[in-house]
Amino acid sequence: MSAAITSLIDGLNPQQRAAVTATEGPVLVLAGPGSGKTRVLTHRIAYLIREKNLHPSALMAVTFTNKAAAEMKHRVEGILGDRLKGLQIGTFHSICARLLRREAESTRHRNDYLIYDTDDQLTVINQAMTEQNIDDKKYKPRAILNAISSAKNELTGPDAFIAQGYMAEVTRRVYQRYQEILISNNARDFDDLLMDTAILFRDHPDVLEKYQQFYEYLLVDEFQDTNAAQYYLVKELAAPQNNVFVVGDEDQAIYAFRGADYRNVLQFRRDFPQAQIILLEQNYRSTQVVLDVARAVIDKNSNRTRKALFTERQGGTPVQVFEAYSDSEEAEYVVTTIEEQRRKLSLSYKDFAIMYRTNAQSRAMEEACIREGVPYKLVGGIGFYKRREVRDLLAYLRLVNNLDDSVSFSRVINIPKRGIGKKSVEDFQAWAAKNRYTTSRALEALADGEVTPLNSSAVKKFIEFHRMILEWRQEASSNNLAALLDSILIRTHYTMHLQETSDDNEQFMEREENVKELRGLLDKNIGMPLNEFLEEIALVADIDTVSDALDAVTLLTLHAAKGLEYPVVFLTGLEEGLLPHMRSFDEPEGMAEERRLMYVGITRAMQRLYLTYAFRRLMYGDSTPGRPSRFLADIPLDRVEGAPSKMLQNQSRRSFEAETRWDDSTERRSGSLLAGLGRPNKPASLPAASAPKKENLKYKTGQKVRHAKFGEGVVIHSLRMGSDEEVTVSFSDKKIGLKRLAASFANLEILGEK
C-alpha cells in the first residue's frame, strides 16, 4: 500500500475504514448523525480512484442537494489534490435531467425541454381542470397535484393510473390531460425527471446497458429519503455487478411527504441479501448531553434499528429550555442570547442557527435580528426565483428557449400590458388545444391567416409578440444571455412597467435591484447555452444558494437543516400543532416523522442546544394560545436547565415536572397549561381557552386585568386549585413578566376581553 493510500484510511475508525475499503458488491451503511458519513463517502471516492485506479467518470455519486454535491467534490479534490474530470456527482434530479437531455431521441421530449416548478405545475393543473369543467372549489388543484406527484413517484403513469372512487377518477382525468399539456409544451415537472428516466431504462434496454457499463460504482447518500422511483433507478443502474454503496439513517427520514420511503433500507437488505452492513455509531459532532437528549426523543419511535450512539466528548452544557410569552418574545430571547453567547464564548455569528418547523416562523426571528442588529441569512422562504419580476423575465427567457411553453406564454403575453386580456388568451389556448397545436404551431397558424375565434386586432397583437420572440431567439444563439436580457428589457419597456406597477418607490427600487441581480447572474454565465442555464436554476434548492463565507446567523427549517451542523442551535416553536405539526396528528407514521424531525434538529448541535416555545403565537394575523410540544416531555430533566430569568426558570421547571408526572393521566391535564400532552388534540379545542368556561372560572385566557401592585396584564390561563383559582398573568411591565397568582388574594380587576 502506498503512503497516499495509507493516509486515506488513517484517522478513520474501524467501521469507517471498512466502509471505505469494501469496494466490491452491495454495501449498506447505517450512519448515525455526526458519525462521519461525508468523510466516509469522500474517502471512498478517493480510494476508488487511487487504489482501484478507477477513472472518475466511472463513478456516480448521488447526494441530497447540489450544495452537498459541490462540497463533496471539493473535499475529494482536497484529498486527491487534482481535478476529478467526469466524476458524476449530483442530485437524482440533476443527474436525470442531464441524462434525459442526452438521450432525448429515445424520449417524448426534445433536448431543449423545460423543467416546471410547483407554480408552473399548478398553472397546468388549472388549465387541465378548466378544460374539463372541474370545479376547483370542490377539487383542490393542490390536492390533485399531490396525488399526481405521488403516482409519478411510484412510477405510475397516467395510463396505468387506476381510479377507485370519485376523487381518484377526477385525478385520473386531470393527470391524463396534465401530462398531455406537459408533452405538448416540451416541459417536464420534477417527478417526470425521475419517472421518464425510469421509463427510458425500461423501454430502451440498450440505453440502460450503456449506463450500467459506464458507471461501475454507485454511491447514494441520504438513502432513507429515496422514493420508489429513485430506488428503481439505483437498482437498475447498479446491475449486474451491484457495486452499490448506500448510506442512510432511518431516524433521519423526513421526506415521506414527497414520496420518500425509509423502508427502502429494509428493501435493500432484501434485494441484496449478500450486502455488507456497516454501522457507524461513534458521534464526532455533539456533546454527550446533546446525544442523551436526542436519544430520549428518538427512542420513543418503534420499528427502528436501535443504534448505540456514543461520543468521547463526555458531559457538555445542559440543554437550555425557554418558555416565552409570545413568538416575538421568543425571538427576542433567541437573538439576545446569540449576541450574549457570541461575546462570552468568542464565537462568530455563523456558528449559530435558528431552526423552526414552518417557514412562516422565520418572520418573528428576522424582525428580532433586525431590531438587535444581528446579521442573518435566511434559507428558503420566498426565494429570489419566486419574485414576480424575476419570474416574468425568466418566462421571457424560457419562451425564447422553447416557444411551446404555454405556461410562460400566458404569463407574459400581456406583461407589460399589450391589450391582450384573459379572454383572448383563453380563446387562443382553447383553439390551439382543439386543433392539437402546440403554442408555436398555433402562432404560426395565426401568421398564415388561419381562421380563429380571435378578432383581427387581437390576432395582430399575437403575431407581433411572436415576431419579437423569434428575433430574440436569433440573439440567444450567441449565448450572451445578459445581452439577450437587455434586449428584452428595452423592447418591452420592462423598467417602466415595473415603475407603473410598484406601490411605492421603495418597492420599485427593490424590484429593479432584483432585475439587476438576475442580469448579473446571466453575465456570470456568459457562453452558457440558455437551456442549460434554465435547467440549472430550475434545480437549485434554497439551501444551495446559502453562502458559507458570510458571517451571519442561519435561519432555516428543520428540513433544510438536514446534513448540517452548528456549534449552537436554537430549536424554536416547540409547541403542539407546530412540532408536531397538526397535520400529522391523526396518522401515527406522520407523528413518528415529526419526532424524527425533532431528532434531526437536536443532532445538528455541536456544543449548545436551546429549546424554546411560546404561550401565544401570531397565526393568520391573530394571536392564538399554544402548549409545549409533547416531545419536550420525553427529555430527561437532568440534562435540562431552565430559562435565565429566575421567575421563568421556576415556571419552566414546574412545567417539565408536571409533564413527566402527568404523562399517564389525561384527565387531570385538561384545564392546565400542559393539557392534552401526549394525546392528539386540535388547537381548536385548546383546553387553555375552553376549559375555564366549562369549569366556570372567573378569569379567562386573553382577559385584560389590573393588579394593585403589578399593574396591567393579560391572563394566560387560569385553573382550579381546590376552592381557589390560580391565575397566570403576563404583566405589561417587562420586569414583572409572568406571575402565578391565587385569585382570592390577588384581587385582580377585570378590564375586559383583549
**Residue placing its CB nearer to DNA in the complex, 291 or 454:** 454
Retrieve residue 348's grid coordinates: 462568530
For DNA, which residue of 35, 94, 107, 439 counts as binding (CB under 7 A)? Answer: 94
Site string for DNA, 201-220 (x = CB under 7 A): --------------------
**Residue placing its CB nearer to DNA in the complex, 295 or 357:** 357
- 604 binding DNA? (CB under 7 A): no
**Residue placing its CB nearer to DNA in the complex, 23 or 126:** 126
Q: Which of residues 52-71 bind DNA (CB under 7 A)?
A: 65
C-alpha distances in Å from residue 80, one per residue of 216, 351, 466: 20, 29, 52
Q: CA–CA separation, 119 vs 115, rounded Å? A: 11
- 449 binding DNA? (CB under 7 A): no
**Residue placing its CB nearer to DNA in the complex, 566 or 656:** 566
For DNA, which residue of 279, 296, 347, 360 counts as binding (CB under 7 A)? Answer: 360
DSSP letter string, 84-99: -TT-EEE-HHHHHHHH
Q: Count CB neighbours of 492 within 10 A.
A: 18
Binding segment (CB under 7 A) for DNA, from list 8-16, 89-97, 198-206, 709-717: 89-97
8 Å CB contact between 251 and 308: no
Site string for DNA, 245-274 (x = CB under 7 A): ---------x--xx----------------
- 423 binding DNA? (CB under 7 A): yes
Q: Which of residues 162-191 bind DNA (CB under 7 A)?
A: 190-191
**Residue placing its CB nearer to DNA in the complex, 318 or 383:** 383
Q: How many residues bind DNA (CB under 7 A)?
A: 47
Q: What share of the chain is helix, strand, coil (3-state, %, to 5)?
A: 50, 15, 30
274 CB burial (10 A radius; 0-12, 13-18, 19+): exposed
Residue 92 Cβ vs DNA, minimum distance, rounded to whole Å = 7
Which of these is catalytic: 121, 224, 252, 554? 252
741 CB burial (10 A radius; 0-12, 13-18, 19+): buried
Retrieve residue 466's grid coordinates: 411572436
Q: CA–CA separation, 326 vs 616, rounded Å? A: 5
For DNA, which residue of 15, 42, 88, 91 counts as binding (CB under 7 A)? Answer: 91
Which of these is catalytic: 222, 225, 329, 535? 222
37 catalytic residue (yes or no): yes
For DNA, which residue of 42, 359, 429, 514 counts as binding (CB under 7 A)? Answer: 359
**Residue placing its CB nearer to DNA in the complex, 117 or 271:** 117
DSSP letter string, 13-28: -HHHHHHHH--SS-EE
198 CB burial (10 A radius; 0-12, 13-18, 19+): buried
Residue type, 65: T
Q: Which of residues 107-166 bind DNA (CB under 7 A)?
A: 117-118, 126, 140, 142
**Residue placing its CB nearer to DNA in the complex, 117 or 695:** 117
Residue 492 Cβ vs DNA, minimum distance, rounded to whole Å = 14
130 catalytic residue (yes or no): no
DSSP 3-state assignment of 290?
helix
Residue 529 Cβ vs DNA, minimum distance, rounded to whole Å = 21
Which residues does 454 contact at the CB level (< 8 Å), separation at least 6? 424, 427, 428, 431, 446, 462
Residue 285 Cβ vs DNA, minimum distance, rounded to whole Å = 22
For DNA, which residue of 25, 318, 529, 590 counts as binding (CB under 7 A)? Answer: 590
Q: CA–CA separation, 17 vs 5, rounded Å? A: 12
For DNA, which residue of 414, 479, 480, 487 counts as binding (CB under 7 A)? Answer: 414
Q: Which of residues 648-677 bind DNA (CB under 7 A)?
A: none
8 Å CB contact between 248 and 63: no
- 543 binding DNA? (CB under 7 A): yes
Q: Count CB neighbours of 712 within 10 A.
A: 14
Binding segment (CB under 7 A) for DNA, from list 277-285, 300-308, 356-364, 643-651: 356-364
222 catalytic residue (yes or no): yes
List the one residue out of 539, 747, 613, 611 whose CA is nearest residue 65: 539
The enclosing H or E element of 749 equals strand 749-753
List the one residue out of 62, 172, 81 whose CA is nearest residue 128: 172
Q: Which long-range contacts (CB under 8 A, 24 or more apart) does 327-330 make?
A: 327/361, 327/364, 327/573, 327/614, 327/616, 327/617, 327/618, 328/364, 328/367, 328/368, 328/618, 329/614, 330/364, 330/572, 330/573, 330/612, 330/613, 330/614
Binding segment (CB under 7 A) for DNA, from list 275-283, 358-366, 470-478, 713-721: 358-366
Residue 733 Cβ vs DNA, minimum distance, rounded to whole Å = 24
8 Å CB contact between 691 and 670: yes
Binding segment (CB under 7 A) for DNA, from list 180-188, 241-249, 552-560, 647-655: 552-560
Binding segment (CB under 7 A) for DNA, from list 37-45, 536-544, 602-610, 662-670: 536-544
- 557 binding DNA? (CB under 7 A): yes
Which of these is catalytic: 285, 350, 411, 604? 604
Q: CA–CA separation, 431 vs 451, rounded Å? A: 10
348 CB burial (10 A radius; 0-12, 13-18, 19+): exposed
709 catalytic residue (yes or no): no
Residue 269 Cβ vs DNA, minimum distance, rounded to whole Å = 26
Residues in the chain, total = 754
252 catalytic residue (yes or no): yes
411 catalytic residue (yes or no): no
Residue 128 Cβ vs DNA, minimum distance, rounded to whole Å = 14
Please give the residue ranges that form the binding site for DNA (CB under 7 A): 65, 91-94, 117-118, 126, 140, 142, 190-191, 254, 257-258, 357-360, 380, 414, 417-424, 458, 539, 541-544, 557, 559-560, 581, 583-584, 590, 618-622
Catalytic residues: 37-38, 221-222, 252, 604
